[in-house]
Amino acid sequence: MTPGARVLAAIEVLDLIAAGTVAEKALIGWARRSRFAGSGDRAAVRDHVFQALRCWRSYAVLGGAETGRARMIGALRAAGDDPAALFTGEGYAPAPLSADERAAGAQPTGADACDMPDWLLAEFHASLGPSAEQTVMALRERAPVMLRVNRRKADVTGAIDALAHERIISASHPVAETALTVSEGARRVAQSRAYHDGLVELQDGSSQAAMDGIDLSGAKTILDYCAGGGGKALALAARSDARIFAHDIDPGRMQDLPERAARAGVRIEPLNTLPSPDKHLFDIVLCDAPCSGSGTWRRTPEAKWSLTPARLSELTEIQAQILTEAAPLVAPGGQLIYATCSVLAAENEAQIDAFLAATPGWVRRKTHRFDVTDGGDGFFVAHLGRD
């Protein structure tokens, strides 16, 4: 496909999304109808669509209308390109710009320029103060593909070399000792030998750093209370010989965990039923709670437009309940680690304040917020100690 034809395809998909179709579904539908599109074309169309989702408001203002076509005109203007160069009408390129379209469009300002719903922009300001602006602007950029070097199987240099052997070019990233960013060949990682042999896992750098910050010395048992796919449990298992148990309210989410653990050369024990606190306690309980994902919206930009105040408040209730349920499972002297991939105070600091106020016998040891501007995703972690 020509660059213009890819833009026309992105316009079609963006219009479907604006009409209510979920982005992934709209992309899959387009790919099925477009058998002529190769993998490079599909990737390019996807990139256009995801970038337009990150910059949904500003591209519409720059392009002068709330349509897929205007948003792609806005995207080209934002990149400093003349849309007329691609909107030629030749072959499968979009039709040339009309006089109205050439005249339309303005420089976005305020929440339009920040590409954030108005109510969320207020939440970001209340949560992050002066750094809110930088964070929301960083969420308009594409996130790097990041890997975690599995210390059980390789060191950083060995992993970089093994990946390079398969034409996947990576470099270490300062956000975490084991973090690599991939600059070439990212789409081949999941098929690579280095990945299949467990030398590397796909994991954002902030999550790695947050897990690295947990003091595992002396811990004999660890419970990952919200294990999901097990990314955090695997990161802990790379550093500890403790018995690590994984639990999730939806056990189906843990289905890939045995295979991932085998690849990594570690053991994670699934726990479909939690033990009663009077029978078994854990030295560390990690709650990587469900959240708005506001720190990861570079990767899932659709989510920033679909989050509502009602859903945010539902999430904060679930988080509070998880803390209340998980805390009694921590042994005396043990640690309760609360984490989210959000940067909103309601899900983080305020959640911990409320827990400590309502639950005697717990102290806050430390909290840390990783900012999107540090290079990895936004992430929050709180270390709580049981007296």
Ligand X SMILES: C[S@@+](CC[C@H](N)C(=O)[O-])C[C@H]1O[C@@H](n2cnc3c(N)ncnc32)[C@H](O)[C@@H]1O
Give least dist CB 212 to ligand X, A: 14
Q: Is 81 annotated as a binding residue?
A: no
CB within 8 Å of 52: residues ≥ 6 apart: 10, 14, 59, 68, 71, 72, 75
Q: What Å distances lie between residue 237 and 182, 200, 230, CA to CA? A: 23, 14, 10
Residue number, 39 or 272, with CB nearest to ligand X: 272
> In angstroms, rounded to a whole number, what is the distance separating the alpha carbons of residues 328 and 326?
6
What are the percentages of helix, strand and coil residues in the chain, rounded to 5?
50, 15, 35
Catalytic positions, written as ranges: 341
Q: Minimum CB separation from ligand X for residue 69, in Å?
A: 36
Nearer to ligand X, 108 or 228 (CB): 228
CB of 380 to ligand X, least distance (A): 12
Whether the CB-CB separation of 270 and 254 falls below 8 Å is answered with yes
Q: Given the complex with ligand X, which of 52 and 227 has the nearer CB atom?
A: 227
Name the residue nearer to ligand X (CB basis): 1 or 222: 222
Give whichever of 74 and 230 is closer to ligand X, judged by the CB atom.
230
Is residue 47 a known part of a binding site? no
| Per-residue buried b or exposed e for 128-157, using 16+ beta carbons within 10 Å of the residue's own CB | beebbeebbebbbeebbbbbbbbeebbebe
Task: Using the minimum distance from each CB to ligand X, give the nearer residue, 83 or 293.
Answer: 293
* Gyration radius of the chain's alpha carbons: 23
C-alpha span between 378 and 133 (Å, rounded): 14
* Contact between 375 and 331 (Cβ < 8 Å): no
> Residue 235 burial by CB count (10 A; 0-12/13-18/19+): exposed, middle or buried?
buried
Residue 61 C-beta: closest distance to ligand X, Å: 33
Whole-number Å distance between alpha carbons of 245 and 222: 6
Residue numbers at the binding site for ligand X (CB under 6 A): 225-232, 248-250, 253, 288, 290, 318, 322
Q: How far is the CB of 335 from ligand X (least distance, A)?
A: 16
Alpha-carbon distance 45 to 66, whole Å? 19
CB of 198 to ligand X, least distance (A): 16
* 298's tokens: 């570079």
Sheet strands side by side (includes 179-184): 169-172, 179-184, 145-149, 200-202
Residue list for the binding site for S-adenosyl-L-methionine: 248, 288
